[in-house]
Structure 1
């Protein structure tokens, strides 16, 4: 099978299907009761208020801090603008996951197939599309987690990549509390691996996590 012919078609068809599903869920997806609250929290943050100090918030502080940067879009387009931004974050997480699959498969032709398959499985999933289009924490958390795992799969610059991965893992946990379980699992993977630099990478991961915390 010629990857030069097949892979571009897989990616193109996946992007088209993603666009159709994302558009349908952005425009027609059932309104989630949390969407307005999340966007309101982001607006309060954009106005200078801080979560936990100035208003109650049920998750970590990262979501309103990040989405406060998107508040001008939400002010103009409302929930629709928030959903479009969230869907794009979901697409970004799918691209990062595809890069992770490529690294884990060893790169080359095999890695390209793995990346295309991972991207396709994520983007054509109807449920994935909905939950990464509504304004909730899923898209941003997925982006942080997939980026952290991608950095852990990088063998060059072991301390720096592990440091950044630790930072992203904590950001994911501070976006959605249930993602906190990922950090100790990643740490256990680092210390139990066969890599001769595992201790060096584990220290970097912990340092990055502490820096973010």
Structure 2
């Protein structure tokens, strides 16, 4: 019996050590990638502690700066993280590179903003800005599209305009960091990001060009 208990204890310790190593490695890669791509400090001052999993209906998967085509990311993605069922979260997707990374005069563009998300059930959260997929303008190079998850101190009242898909002008010159400070959200607990540039695959989006005087 003693040998069995000793064996179980050793196995438990080994599993714990593996989990710690995996968690530490994930934290390290997040901090490194967010810094390498300039998301820290362009968007937030401190990197999230963990990666959020982001998958699109097109089967595209977001992976720390991988390049995706705009056509792959037009539908609302599924995002998940290590959430607690009894906590509320804010989920955001933002593009700091509008009009371009070199000339970000209109960044950040809030592509998606959902508050009061119970656990990781984003569909039942409070949509503050309906999802708009990546539509970078031609000649503006790669844009960074950043997903961030914040744990709220509780259920909040958000005094923000509710932005529909057609509400584009009100989405520019946004700051997710200032938003987080305003509502006491602290540092993001999870995040991820991809890059995309203009693609002829979508064709011209007349409304988008109209928004920016093109």
Question: Which category of TM-score, normalised to the shorter sequence, fits these structures?
Answer: under 0.3
TM-score (norm 1): 0.26
> Going by fraction, where is strand more abundant, 1 or 2?
2
TM-score (norm 2): 0.26
Higher Rg of the two aligned structures = 2
> Going by fraction, where is helix more abundant, 1 or 2?
1
